[in-house]
Amino acid sequence: MAATGNILFSGVGGQGILLASEVTAYALLAAGYDAKKSEVHGMAQRGGSVTAQLRYGDKVYSPLIEPGKADILISFEMMEAARYLPYLHQESKVIVNTQQIKPPSVAMGQVPYPANVLDAVSSLGIQVVSVDAFDIARDAGEVKAANIVMVGAMSAFLPMGVEVYENIINTRIPERFREVNMKAFAAGRKITA
């Protein structure tokens, strides 16, 4: 069992970040790890930044990740990936949804959306996986399942088998959404497995 792993989830309100972090936390607990999670979602309902920090291992005493200690950054929006670069180290893995959600200042034309965000993240020399989660989720049957596409893409970097995630999706997601979320998870997993 790994000593401790640190996962930082980032994005904006309405992207299903908290559900994605819950599915991951419950999967880690089901696999026998201690796991602790923290969330920040102040202006989430207005498209504000949302983060969740998840730490796992033999024993975890705090859910908070120090800057420079995130092993995985899973970002549900491109600019949000750039915002949390100080949390990464040289062996970190970054999984980025290529979807752009323009904040009010960009939507009103006050400032441009930052160009070449993925290039900036990749220039750090760390592993970056870009995922078109929105289109993949649409193909699976529901764009709202983009968060589970991202969990699927991240799952190959965590120490649990697919069946653990499937059991959690079956128990944590309402029955009417399970099939599409199972498809979304499998499609995301194919990207990195």
Rounded mean pLDDT for each run of 10 residues along the chain, 193 residues in total: 84 91 97 94 70 96 96 95 94 95 87 89 92 96 96 96 96 94 97 92
Give residue for tokens 């202006």. 43
pLDDT for 46 equals 62
pLDDT for 115 equals 87
Domains in the chain, ordered, with CATH? 5-132+162-170 (3.40.920.10)
pLDDT for 45 equals 61
pLDDT for 176 equals 94
Residues 6+ apart with CB under 8 A from 166: 182, 185
Q: Give yes or no for a contact between 39 and 8, defined as CB atoms under 8 angstroms apart.
A: no
Residues 6+ apart with CB under 8 A from 110: none
Helix ranges restricted to H, 10-141 = 17-30, 78-83, 104-107, 117-122, 133-140
Which three-class secondary structure state does DSSP give residue 94?
strand
Q: How many CA atoms lie within 13 A of 65 on its CB side?
A: 32
pLDDT for 167 equals 96
How many helices (H) and strands (E) the chain has is answered by 8, 6
pLDDT for 155 equals 97
Apex 12 CA angle, 117 and 100, nearest 5:
40
